[in-house]
A and B are shown apart, each in its own frame.
Chain A
Amino acid sequence: MTMLALIILAPLLAGLAALVLRRAPEAIALAGVGLGFVAAMALLAGIVSGGTMQLVLPGLPQMPLRLVATPLTAVFSAMVATVAASVLIYAVGYMRSDPEKPRFFGILLLFVAAMQALVLAGDWITVLAAWELIGFSSYLLIGFWHGRDGVPGAAMRAFLYTRSADLGLYLGIFVLIGWAGTAEISATLDITGTPALVAGLLLLIGAMGKSAQVPLQDWLQRAMAGPTPVSALLHSATLVAAGAILLIRVTPMLPAGALIAVGLVGGVTAVVAGLIALAERDLKRLLAASTSSQYGLMLLAIGAGVPVAALLHLIAHAAIKSTLFLGAGVFQHDRDSTDMDAVAGAGRARPLVLAAFGIAALALAGIPPLAGFFSKDAILAAALAAPGVVWLAPLALAGTVLTGAYMARALRVLWQGEAQPVLGKGMGWMGAGMAVLTALAAGLGFAFTPLEHLLEAELPPEGTAMILGLMAALSGLVLGWFIQPARLMGPVLPMAQRGFAVAGGMDGLVLRPSLAFAAACEGFERRLLASQLGLVRILSLGTASSAERSDNRLYAATLQVGRMNLRLGDSAETTDTKGIDGLIFGLVDRTIAAGRRLRLLQSGLIHRELALTVMGIAVIAAVLLILPMSS
């Protein structure tokens, strides 16, 4: 009970303290995250020794808020706490000279608290709340350097992309709650049949947004505008993981149809994002695309019906990708850029960092005995044993080959080139954070067997998968090291470099049309008014109307002249209303002299609006009259 609360409250309170006190943010942050880490480990230990824990808070009427610790959620929580702690240690060094440190650590801690709330949530309302909070705090973190070019745009894009996919989550959750009559997650998982299929597909949409799956993958690469610790924490282990975690938790409910969709989305993403990563010319963006691709593999495992394989890969990937990002951050510090040309040879000057980066890269590619080897094996085995083996297995293998290829390419860039002397400032903290994560990336695989026991899950047999996986990984590494992507990919290269933007990508498909829609709304009321007014006149006034209309025109013209004079004279006064007039009705504004007010009321706004109102009343009455007939 206390542990559950402490996991969330410790980072939350520390974050608020850092924001309010604005001094010694590092110490506060380390204390908060450290306490949260201890609590998460204690929780995991408690769960291992048996039993589950639950914390119920008063929430909505009939829908209390719940936090639950089951083996699954406790493992997630421990993973989040571990990565958060390591990344924070690194961030102490990375953000050493940033004047806005308190804001950075404050928001980062709030994010950690929200993420813990998400993984420990026992009901859907808490899931929604935490989901929104991590979305919002990640928006603030990506936009942390909001003064720089392109950063606010990237933050806004990330927010809007994931936000639009969130609609799926909302609808899916409402379907679940509506069908089960309760918001408790474990109770809603008993749903079967069509509602389960509908809810599953809707949840998949939400997960696709957060986990950057095709076609919603673009935001993740652009989100690299944030500070490196943000990329390491949010875009490897937590924010992006939210989608996969969501799906892993609801797998028991998903019917075969939904599983097929999940597996297909994942498989396609694994390949497409892998190609994008291979074609990428920026180290951090390569890692971002690789994240999409790896989450694609996890979704593939879920689609194959073996969520445990996805879970293992999620955990391994969290440690591996954080290490890679942190290494990239060191090189970025050295060369002031993550462009492939700029960082060429950066690894030579820092052999230790390069070693850590290399271990993580090989682990991701799936070389034994590193962590990624075991988890990737599990995914391949799951794909081979799945009913949809025909298409799942090739996609999984292609994803594995691509992983090896782009990691080899990154390593080669860092290795070949001119070494430049570097300053060793701040490396103590950064190195410590990286060391912990590298050790995890290397050795975590040996913890997988007890983990499977804890989760009471069995993996499919691995014999063939191990050989196939190893061959795929090695061939990928060899290809990536020796052959230029231009030759490797041929005509696919330019497409991949544009991020496979079909029809202008999501921008063209969603953002631009909705902006155009909003612009069209500008004259909406005016046009509605004009058309309906014309209709009313034709209907009711007949021939008499023409006389009135010409009168009105004359009046409008006089009004225009008078208004222009007044504008010149009263420009100071009109600033308040400027821009609105003309926007809505274009005819009248309230800066007209007092003497004209009554005439204005007679011939201007009100009778037009009342005409509209009368139209509205007519519509209502008509609907009410037609309704009984049609039913």
Chain B
Amino acid sequence: MARDLSFLFPELMLASTVVLMLVAEMLRAPRLALAFGLIGLGLSTALTLPLLEADTSVFGGTYRVDLLSGWAKLILLPGTALALLMTRAEIAGKDREGSVYVLLCLVTLGALMLAGGGDMMLLVLGVVLTGLGSFAMVAWPRNDAATEAAMKYLVFGAVTGSVMIYGLTFWFGGAGSTLFSELGALDGKPLIALAGLVAVLIGLGYKAALVPFQFWAPDAYDGAPVSVAAFLSVITKVAAIFAFAQVLRDLPVATGWPFVVALIAAVTMTLGYLAALVQTNAVRLLAYSSVAQAGYFMMGIVALGTSALALPSVIVFGAAYVAMNLGAFAVIMIAGRNLDDFKGFGRARPVVGVAMVVFLLSLTGIPPLFGFVGKVLLFGAAIETGYLWLAVIGILNSVLALAVYLRIVVSMYQAREGDAGRTEMAPPLLVVLWATALVTALMGLFAGVFPG
């Protein structure tokens, strides 16, 4: 018991931080809650470092402390800290400000459950924990758009979540255990394996916003505060991808899941970019772009178990995606939600403009930026597994991606009639921008530090 708990220090730290933040919020001291959150996330990240080499599981195999969950913490916890700063910049001084901070950290705790779960119960717990907090955050502005978006998000989550739990009962029945490590027992029971697989694809596919479960994403991102949209588009998505990796690597390949996942990946990235191509709202554009990016993630999932590159590729692209997507949303917070707001933005604010170009080119996958490194590894993993066609579709889509992102870049450097109102930039946002821009621009050259 004591041994098991010692492996959970980061999670315990985060959980107690959330409690402290709740107390601070009850005292109506949002800045205190923010400080608790930042310190807690920092400590939690530091506590992860000694556990990075661990490869074990605790509490009877239900929770995994391995490469994937370790790097998940290293990526998600700092990412949440950046999201906290972005939120502070957006909603400082508003009513119920502290509750958003609490919810952010709570959802991140759920995300860690997803990324480390080795058991169906924990998977459900993670899905519910991330889901409930997210609904509340989307509804936070209390206006029509936000309420509608949250409602939609909730209904979608309720349907997909219940289908997932229903399907998981088949796996439990077939394997006689809720542990993922026992899923090998499903070999030779194709129908049972199929029922559970479809269920997991629905539940986690909804969380990761894969096609055809992506409908909620643009509305939810658009209705929520931009910073919350940024958080949802990176933290819960990456957690869901990592959860996919935890579940599917134990499932026998004979069920045919790699092919189905490859199909979903191809459709997701194509439809995501096609839809992004016609958006006139920057938040919705990035929402569809993050749908497409989820498709790229799935290329790494396809290769699980057959390619040594699979896990590293998902981890590296996860880190890159968190940095570049948070950065792009941070720029939207400065420039405005509409694509027209970007007109002349690059001339009015040259430094932020260059940062945005870096984020967008990295999202496209232009070397030597961080996003490129992740995509190369994903392509490599897919090719090594024999899915050359998937890699080809991925590469073709990066042309589409360029068209999508260049729309923002082009309008940033167009002349603007009249003077662009130069809004003041909050200091927390500056920190976020610099951190994400540096990581995006430079980590590509030092990607050797990641597991390989």
**Which residues of A pack against B, CB within 8 Å?**
57-62, 64-65, 125, 128-129, 131-133, 136, 146-147, 163-164, 167, 170-171, 174, 177-178, 518, 521-522, 524-525, 575-577, 579-580, 583-584, 590-594, 597, 600-601, 605-606, 609-610, 612-613, 615-617, 620-621, 623-625, 627-628, 631
Contact = CB atoms under 8 A, between A and B. Distances in A.
A605 B155 CA distance: 11
B380 A178 contact: yes
Contacts of B284: 580
Interface stretch (B110-118, B272-280, B295-303): B272-280
Contacts of B198: 617, 620-621, 624
B187 interface: no
Interface stretch (B31-39, B207-215, B228-236): B207-215
A613 B163 CA distance: 12
Contact of A612 (B212, B263, B452): B212
Contact of B145 (A58, A590, A600, A613): A590
Contacts of B415: 147
B306 to A, nearest CB: 14
B156 A606 contact: yes
A61 B145 contact: no
Interface stretch (B55-63, B126-134, B392-400): B392-400
B379 A174 contact: yes
Nearest to B255: A624
A576 B338 contact: yes
Contact of B152 (A147, A577, A601, A627): A601
Nearest to B277: A518
Interface in B408-452: 413, 415, 445-452
Interface of B: 144-145, 147-149, 151-152, 155-156, 159-160, 163, 190, 194, 197-198, 201-202, 211-213, 215-216, 219, 223, 254-257, 259-260, 263-264, 271, 274-275, 277-281, 284, 312, 316, 337-338, 361, 366-368, 372-373, 376-377, 379-380, 383-384, 391-392, 395-396, 399, 402-403, 413, 415, 445-452
A163 B373 contact: no
B333 to A, nearest CB: 15
Contacts of B316: 61
Contacts of A628: 190, 254, 256
B376 to A, nearest CB: 7
B447 A129 contact: no
B309 to A, nearest CB: 8
Contacts of A125: 367, 376
A620 B201 contact: yes
B448 A576 contact: no
Contact of B395 (A167, A576, A627): A167
29 contacts: A58-B449, A59-B373, A60-B447, A61-B316, A136-B361, A163-B399, A171-B392, A174-B379, A174-B383, A177-B380, A521-B277, A524-B275, A580-B280, A590-B144, A600-B148, A609-B215, A609-B216, A612-B212, A613-B213, A616-B213, A620-B201, A620-B260, A620-B263, A621-B198, A623-B263, A624-B194, A624-B256, A624-B257, A627-B260
Contacts of A60: 373, 376-377, 447-448, 452
A612 B7 CA distance: 43
Contact of B367 (A128, A147, A592, A606): A128
Given A61-B447, A590-B144, A601-B152, A579 B280 contact: yes
B451 A590 contact: no
A139 to B, nearest CB: 10
B312 to A, nearest CB: 6
A136 B391 CA distance: 23
Contacts of B212: 612-613, 615-617
Given A174-B383, A518-B277, A605-B152, A136 B213 contact: no
B187 to A, nearest CB: 12
Contacts of B159: 610, 613
B378 to A, nearest CB: 11
A524 B402 contact: no
Determine the main DSSP class of A at the interface with B: helix
Nearest to B415: A147
Nearest to A518: B277
Contacts of A133: 367-368
B391 A583 contact: no
B222 to A, nearest CB: 8
A627 B223 CA distance: 40
Contacts of A575: 338
Given A576-B338, A623-B259, A624-B194, A617 B202 contact: yes
Given A178-B384, A606-B155, 14 more contacts: A57-B445, A60-B373, A60-B448, A61-B450, A163-B399, A163-B402, A167-B399, A177-B380, A576-B281, A580-B279, A613-B156, A613-B212, A613-B213, A616-B211
A61 B450 CA distance: 7
Contacts of B213: 613, 616
Contact of A178 (B148, B254, B274, B383): B383
Contacts of B312: 61
Contact of A576 (B216, B279, B337, B366): B337
Contacts of B149: 590
B252 to A, nearest CB: 12
A129 B278 contact: no
A263 to B, nearest CB: 27
Contacts of B446: 58
A515 to B, nearest CB: 9
A177 to B, nearest CB: 7
A64 B448 contact: yes
